[in-house]
């Protein structure tokens, strides 16, 4: 007969072993019993003879629906004891959750799609509904394909409102819910790129030129950089936004006294600005690169 064990219950006690037909004076040390079979390492037997899941283990119906264990041991008289145990894992309804694929809308983009609300629910065949509520919920709707979007008549305007706040709730068929309040920022494009320094000494490998400073109306925005243009192959941008010569490159004033390259800075919302920069080479008295 199978014993039922609910999923998600860490360290659950399944039952007590009891040795049958012991002779007078014959004892059993359950802690010495061994377990083999399906996922035997999830289980333990206490000195009281309790068969249980280990304290950091819970069963997961969606991964394992049944288990078969073999339990064996010896009595104080050296008689062997063994049993087979069958377990069925019982399904428990798990609450849904969700991810939103993007938290930006572009300035002045009426009816903009924010991103896909991807509902996560462990339970196979469960169905879920999505609702929105909260301060700015009236400006949004959920499209038939599950995307959060601005209503068609709503135009984001960074100058008057830089973000929207709303609560997204997903509810499964059994009524289990999960809510999160999200901030949707109105993204305005970066407006300027300034390099903190525009010259480089000759004869040094991999020199740093300067910091790339980007001005963006979204004060917390961050940027990724790409290089293009005539002399891009001599340069790279570090993770900290520093423009530098590649490690195996040095400038040589007598060979080439300036470089031209274009830096493109792209913000978190995908808007970008580019600027073509000229880096001049400083003439030094020595010539051996190091
Ligand atoms: Ca589960
Ligand atoms: Ca479940
Ligand atoms: Ca569920
Ligand atoms: Ca921005």
What are the beta bridge partners of residue 226? 264
Place of tokens 């792209």: 266
Report domain extents, the chain.
2-90, 97-187, 192-282
Q: CA angle, corner 164, sides to 154 and 188, nearest 5?
A: 75
CATH topology of domain 192-282: Immunoglobulin-like (2.60.40)
If you measure from the C-alpha of residue 106 to the centroid of ligand 4, how many angstroms do you get, rounded to a whole number? 9
The confidence score (pLDDT) of residue 31 equals 87
If you measure from the C-alpha of residue 32 to the centroid of ligand 2, how many angstroms do you get, rounded to a whole number? 34
At 233 the three-state DSSP class reads helix
What does 121-172 look like in DSSP terms, one character per residue? -SSTT--EEEEEESTTGGGEEE-TTSEEEE-TT----TTT--EEEEEEEEEE
CATH architecture of 2-90: Sandwich (2.60)
Bridge pairing between strands 104-106 and 177-187: parallel
Query: Do 85 and 3 contact (CB within 8 A), yes or no?
Result: yes
If you measure from the C-alpha of residue 165 to the centroid of ligand 3, how many angstroms do you get, rounded to a whole number? 26
Task: Quickly state the pLDDT bin for 288 (edges 50, 70, 90).
Answer: low
Identical fold between 97-187 and 192-282:
yes
Nearest bound ligand to the CA of residue 94: 3
Nearest bound ligand to the CA of residue 174: 3
Ion ligand 2 residue ranges (Cβ < 5 Å): 61, 91, 94, 123
| Alpha carbons 93 and 83: distance in angstroms, whole number | 32
pLDDT tens digits for range 219-266: 999 999 999 999 999 999 999 999 999 999 999 999 999 999 999 999
If one counts every other C-beta atom within 10 angstroms of the C-beta of residue 225, the result is 19
pLDDT tens digits for range 157-211: 999 999 999 999 999 999 999 999 999 999 999 999 999 999 999 999 999 999 9
Q: 28: which DSSP letter?
A: B
Q: 130: which DSSP letter?
A: E
If you measure from the C-alpha of residue 60 to the centroid of ligand 1, how many angstroms do you get, rounded to a whole number? 4
Question: Domain 97-187 sits in which CATH superfamily?
Answer: Cadherins (2.60.40.60)
């Amino acid at each position: 007969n199978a014993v039922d064990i609910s999923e998600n219950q860490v360290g659950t006690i399944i039952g007590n072993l009891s040795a049958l037909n012991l002779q007078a004076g014959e004892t059993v040390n359950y802690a010495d019993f061994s377990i083999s079979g399906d996922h035997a390492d999830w289980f333990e037997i206490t000195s009281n003879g309790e068969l249980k899941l280990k304290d950091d283990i819970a069963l997961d119906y969606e991964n394992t629906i049944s288990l078969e264990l073999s339990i064996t041991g010896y009595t104080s008289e050296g008689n062997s004891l063994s049993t087979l145990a069958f377990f069925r894992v019982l399904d428990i309804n798990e609450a849904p959750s969700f991810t939103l694929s993007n938290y930006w809308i572009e300035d002045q983009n009426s009816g903009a799609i924010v991103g896909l609300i991807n509902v996560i629910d462990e339970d196979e065949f469960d169905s879920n509904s999505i609702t929105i509520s909260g301060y700015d919920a009236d400006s949004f709707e959920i499209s038939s394909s599950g995307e959060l979007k601005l209503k068609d008549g709503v135009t984001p305007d960074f100058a008057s409102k830089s973000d929207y706040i709303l609560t997204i709730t997903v509810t499964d068929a059994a009524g289990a819910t999960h809510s999160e309040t999200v901030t949707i920022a109105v993204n305005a494009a970066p407006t300027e790129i300034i390099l903190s320094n525009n010259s480089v000494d000759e004869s040094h490998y991999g020199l740093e030129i300067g910091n790339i400073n980007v001005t963006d109306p979204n004060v917390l925005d961050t940027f990724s950089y790409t290089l293009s243009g005539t002399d891009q192959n001599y340069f790279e941008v570090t993770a900290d936004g520093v423009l530098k010569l590649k490690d195996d490159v040095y400038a040589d004033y007598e060979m080439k006294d300036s470089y031209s390259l274009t830096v493109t800075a792209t913000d978190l919302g995908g808007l970008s600005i580019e600027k073509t920069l000229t880096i001049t080479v400083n003439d030094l008295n020595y010539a051996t690169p190091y």
